[in-house]
Amino acid sequence: MSDKILAINAGSSSLKFQLLEMPSEAVIAKGIFDRIGFKDGKVKYQTKRNQVQKSVCIPSHEFAVQVLLGTLVESGEIHSIEEIVGVGHRVAHGGESFKGSVLIDEKNEEIISDLGDLAPSHNPVSLSVIKSFKTHFPSIKNVAVFDTSFHQTMDPVHYLYPLPYSLYEKFHVRKYGFHGISHAYIAETVEKIFQQEEHAKENVKIISCHLGNGASICAIKEQQSVNTSMGFTPIDGLMMGSRCGSIDPMIIPYLVERQQMPIHEVKKLLNEASGLLGISEMSNDMRDLIQAATEGNQKAALAIEMFVNRVAHTIASYIVDLDGLDALVFTGGIGENAALIRSLIVDKLQVFGMSVNKELNENGSLYIQDSNSNCKILVVQTNEELMIARETYRLSV
């Protein structure tokens, strides 16, 4: 017998979804509502039978939910909403309250709301979508799958900041890490790939590089997060599309006190005007920068070099944390599609005996290392919605 699970990944102005048949994990329908809250909203919807793309005004996430479920019924993918046994929601921040996925009851809903201060662009949106499902379709079970939960296995030596310990005790100031759903998927997938091979190792040491407009790296051992690059918030760590990553914290009071920059402008600068965009002064999209760099744009080339350096430095430090490395994995929009960036990163790591095969890398093979490489180097397409569906099925059925 099969059950239908709906996986929801709500962003600040988008809502991605997948309807899956479980436990076969067959995708029935998938799509995205984009530019929610704007006049030029877009809906992309794909099933085995057809593909739809149209422009439509989507005033809110709640409206998107009603359109989504109505569309699933009207298109014949389901006959009624009751066929869906569970809805899984990606929730950005679970703090220390949630070590894993949970069924959403009133108490858990309240905790997610309280954590909104730690993820103001994400948790309130997820909560509004959850409430919409619970209001309009109360018979469906709702499950929260947290982006932070996977990293709750980190030791204090990795998650604490060198600040007064009282800040952790009173205000829970610590590294939480994000992209946990993606990194967990990579950990599971690589373990399965290795188990299928002859002489497969147990407890594979993995470094997962989720490189996209948002980017983070995770050191994984025994299927658990050992360390990760994002911190108290998703702005920390690597240089990203428009986020600065790790910087000297005294830059912030300098801008506020000496340059009279309002704190809200500083926040916007760090989140929306820095990273690849800030250095290149042209784009937060790596594809644009690669093209511009080949045409001689020096700032685009500098942005790429800075990005590559920070990724390589983080990988190197995580090899120390893991006491070795079995698999380096690239995933995310840049990690999966930018062969040049993968090559530049691995070139920086030759001191560790890593090297790529040019042809395999450019062809997007699963394995891209050459025969002399000391570890496996893989390109794996992440699937956060599938991980959400697996967790939801586990808790709903």
Give the active site residues: 147
Q: How would you classify the pairing of strands 327-331 and 376-379? A: parallel
Does residue 16 sit in helix, strand or coil?
strand
Q: How would you classify the pairing of strands 14-22 and 84-91? A: unpaired
> What are the distances in angstroms from CA 233 to CA 2, 66, 182?
38, 31, 17
Token pair, residue 337, equals 């599609």
Q: Do 281 and 242 form a contact (C-beta atoms < 8 A)?
A: no
Buried b (16+ CB within 10 A) or exposed e, 151-186: bbbbeeebbeeeeeeeebeeeebbbbbbbbbbbbbb
Q: If residue 224 lies in a helix (H) or strand (E), which one and from where to where?
A: strand 224-228
Q: How would you classify the pairing of strands 26-34 and 102-103? A: unpaired
